[in-house]
Amino acid sequence: MTSTDGIEQVLKAASMRVTQPRVAVLAAVARHPHADTETIISAVHREYPKVSHQAVYDSLKLFTSLGVIRQIQPQGHIARYETRIGDNHHHVVCRQCGNLADVDCSVGESPCLHASDDHGFKIDEAEVIYWGVCPECQAKDLDG
């Protein structure tokens, strides 16, 4: 989805007007998976310096509400965004540096993916976040 044509098609499929700020924001999210808002604003401003911060915030909110992008906000961390949606993947977060990576699938027994009591909900997604220490921080711990 990194081409302008692909991004425009995504916007049209979500019944959104295709505007330069929206194309720029969605392209930035696609190029920078798991980026926070400030990183996305910086990426947009490198190509389109006149796009306002508010236009970026508004686009992220709209895209998230329409399911075009996914917002990830592990406890104690700022929100991050990604275009990888609809596959119910999970994430692993480093407790030391905050590095975040995709985890394609939970393996083994997965009671967390099957609610013991769905309270009548039709569940269509489960969010799992694994916490640990990334390889870079592990190496720093050994060195220091």
The domain spans of the chain are: 4-72, 86-143
Beta pairing, strands 70-72 & 100-103? unpaired
For residue 101, give the 3-state DSSP assignment: strand
* pTM exceeding the 0.75 threshold for the entire prediction: yes
User: Alpha-carbon distance 57 to 94, whole Å?
Assistant: 26
Percent of the chain predicted with pLDDT > 90: 60
Is residue 36 a contact partner of residue 80, using CB atoms and an 8 Å limit? yes
- What are the beta bridge partners of residue 71? 81
CATH 3.30.70.260 fits 86-143, yes or no: no
Ligand-binding annotation for 105, yes or no, is no
**Residue 126 pLDDT greater than 80, yes or no:** no
Is 112 labeled as ligand-binding?
Answer: no
What does the pLDDT read at residue 37? 97
CATH number of 4-72: 1.10.10.10
Q: Is 125 annotated as a binding residue?
A: no
Place of tokens 């009591």: 117
* Contact call for residues 77 and 93 (beta carbons, < 8 A): yes
